[in-house]
Amino acid sequence: MRKYLLRRAAFGLSTLIGVSLIIFVVLRILPGDPLVAMFGLEGFAKLAPDDRARIMEDLGLSDPLPVQYARWMHDITTGSLGRSFFRGEKVSEIILHRGPLSAEIGLLAVLISWLVGLPVGIISAFRPNSLSDNVARSLSILFLAIPGFWLGMLIVLATLFWFNYKTPLVVVHLWQDPWANLQLIVGPAIVLGLGQGAYIARMARSCLLEVIREDYVRTARAKGLKEALVVMRHALPNALLPVITLSGILMGFVLGGSVAVEQAFGVPGLGRALVVAVIERDTIVVQNLVMLYAVIFVFINVAVDLSYAWLDPRIRYR
């Protein structure tokens, strides 16, 4: 197991190096002059050549690209991630201030997706083509098509309309005011959780349907076990493996989707920071936040692989 762990960790690390290279190439080499991005074409034309050189120097953008890349890597390992072009805010501060909110949303969303998706999938699989199965499947197909941010906007509108309620607009941490914090995260978490829950229900259903045709499930039934026991003890553990993988992949959807859903709910999380930075063309912030999202995603995938190996010994020993 340890060898497997080390191998996966090394794999994840090498992937992240590739990720950082892509981010760097996309954001530094493609867009042309960062000053044009910052000041706009007209603003750029008004700048004297000396000023241009000085600003580039200040931003650390006049060094050769490999040096810039090395400095970025160094910054990442030391945790000081540079400053925003516009606000002078430290990127690490943005992350520490807003990150917890987005993390809570993500975790709660995953929890909701399992709590909703798994039972629905199980009910569907054990009464295939029954009314409840058809309702569940139609709902999951519908939820796969509804954009989360739109659902979020509708929820915001509805609560505003019927209860005249609006969520707080500033960052409130769990340890400051749990109740206000919950109000901030619960909406996005439900929207993201239901979207993922639809995938999970679909996957759980199809995997369970595959598994319950297996001989050992028939044996379990033949020896007179209660149906609930057959499901929980025998069928479910094997059907769960692909669902766990899917859940890891779906974290990518949650990470990506949370950006739009946070915007819809007006939650001041990391996603909002990223959107603002992209619109302001704040390269340093974008570069680090995108990297952060990728790090989290890769980390989750490695964790999923490990849990997979832990649940299924065949994988460990390959």
Partner 1 sequence: MTDARVGVRAALAVGRVEPLPERSVTRELAGFARRNPMAAAAGLVGLLIVVMAITAPLIAPSDPLKTDFRRMANPPDARSFFGTDQVGRDTLSRVIYGARSSLIVAFASVLLGTTVGALWGVASGYLGGRFDLVSQRITEVLQSFPDLILAMAISMAIGTGMPAVIVAIAITRIPFGNRVIRSVALTIRELAYVEAARAAGGSALRVMTLHVLPQCVAPYLVLATAHLGVAIIIEAALGFLGVGIPPPTPTWGNMLADSLTSLVPHWWLVFFPGLAITVTVLAFNLFGDGIRDTLDPRLSPAFLRMMAGGRRG
The whole-angstrom separation of Cα 293 and Cα 270 is 10
Residue with tokens 């991005």: 37
Q: What is the closest distance, in whole angstroms, from the C-beta atom of residue 48 to partner 1 in the complex?
A: 26
The whole-angstrom separation of Cα 15 and Cα 316 is 21
The whole-angstrom separation of Cα 27 and Cα 287 is 7
Among 5, 9, 19, 107, binds partner 1 (CB under 8 A): 19
Q: What is the closest distance, in whole angstroms, from the C-beta atom of residue 285 to partner 1 in the complex?
A: 11
* Region of 17-25, 42-50, 86-94, 216-224 interacting with partner 1 (CB under 8 A): 17-25
* Region of 25-33, 67-75, 84-92, 118-126 interacting with partner 1 (CB under 8 A): 25-33
Q: What is the closest distance, in whole angstroms, from the C-beta atom of residue 147 to partner 1 in the complex?
A: 5
Task: Please write down the long-range contacts of 63-67, taking CB distance under 8 Å and 24 or more positions apart.
Answer: 65/24, 65/28, 65/29
Q: At what angle do helices 270-280 and 283-311 cross, to 10 degrees?
A: 140
Q: Is 6 exposed, middle or buried (0-12, 13-18, 19+ CB in 10 A)?
A: exposed
Range 45-74, binding partner 1 (CB under 8 A) = none
Spacing of C-alpha 96 from chain mean position: 17
Q: What is the closest distance, in whole angstroms, from the C-beta atom of residue 302 to partner 1 in the complex?
A: 11
Among 135, 154, 232, 311, binds partner 1 (CB under 8 A): 154
Among 22, 96, 232, 311, binds partner 1 (CB under 8 A): 22
Spacing of C-alpha 104 from chain mean position: 11
Among 62, 68, 206, 307, binds partner 1 (CB under 8 A): 206
Range 108-137, binding partner 1 (CB under 8 A) = none
* Region of 19-27, 47-55, 71-79, 90-98 interacting with partner 1 (CB under 8 A): 19-27
- Contact predicate 180/167, CB 8 Å: no
Q: Is 135 helix (H, G, I), strand (E, B) or coil?
A: helix
- Contact predicate 91/286, CB 8 Å: no
The whole-angstrom separation of Cα 308 and Cα 300 is 12
- Contact predicate 271/102, CB 8 Å: yes
* Region of 21-29, 95-103, 115-123, 179-187 interacting with partner 1 (CB under 8 A): 21-29
Contact call for residue 190 and partner 1 (CB under 8 A): no
Among 259, 267, 273, 285, binds partner 1 (CB under 8 A): 259
The whole-angstrom separation of Cα 281 and Cα 85 is 9
Contact call for residue 311 and partner 1 (CB under 8 A): no
The residue ranges that bind partner 1 (CB under 8 A) are 14-16, 18-19, 22-23, 26-27, 30-31, 141-142, 144-147, 149-150, 153-154, 156-157, 160-161, 203, 206, 210, 242, 245-246, 248-249, 252-253, 255-257, 259-260, 263-264, 274-275, 278-279, 281, 286, 290, 293-294, 297-298, 301, 305, 308, 312, 315, 318
